[in-house]
Structure 1
């Protein structure tokens, strides 16, 4: 018997796209530093902008990022993951800070 009801079912994640996301994260860790994305100034605005640039490039037919050779969608997913992390960890945006 195995009692795993209510536990996370990681097997639901599609592995191939997830590997592309990990490749983007590994590229960033080598280019900058591990977890550097957590310390980017004005991160919310910059990651929204970056996500939209990647989505727009993909929408216009450019499937992979020219610097990494990895899917624009994987790059956009990374940006969205960063934004979700920032939201969950109460990182205020500069624009949200009272003057």
Structure 2
């Protein structure tokens, strides 16, 4: 038995190269989107490639013109750009899911003022405030 510990990770990704503090705002933007739209909703946005390309450039333009944080989320515009680029990168990968034509079905009546809907064809979920109709896109 070797008294020195061993770990064979020489050819594995080094996540320690990611600069400290940059992932938290990105995750905050993803959390905001999950609450506003639904978790994983970005996978099913029609014409997503063009729309996330445009959104990334809008956030980049706002940052370039001196606005550090997005006024709606109060998170850095650059964190929004990173999210948009991650969505585009994911959509370019072979494992990217096909766009679903959602079949929304009400799943629960939550106590937070929202109704929860799930798609019977994919894992998408959507929260809709009580009294509002669900957008069937």
What range describes the TM-score normalised by the shorter chain of this pair?
A: 0.7 to 0.9
Which 4+ residue blocks in structure 1 deviate beyond 4 angstroms? none
Higher relative contact order (CA 8 A, sep 6+): 1
- Matched with 1:95 is none
Greater Rg over alpha carbons, structure:
2
Are positions 1:6 and 2:50 aligned together? no
Cα RMSD (Å): 1.5
Residue 67 of structure 1 deviates from its aligned partner by 0.2
| Residue number among 72, 80, 85 corresponding to 1:67 in the alignment | 72
- Structure holding more helix per residue: 1
- Matched with 2:115 is none
In structure 1, stretches of 5+ residues that fail to align are 93-99
Aligned residues: 92
- Please list, as runs of the form range in 1=range in 2, the aligned pairs for 1:1-99 lying within 5 A after superposition: 1-89=6-94
| 5+ long unaligned stretches in structure 2 | 1-5, 99-137
TM-aligned CA deviation for residue 15 of structure 1:
3.2
Confirm or deny: 8 A CA contact 2:43 2:97 kept in the other structure: no
60-69 or 4-13: which moved more? Answer: 4-13
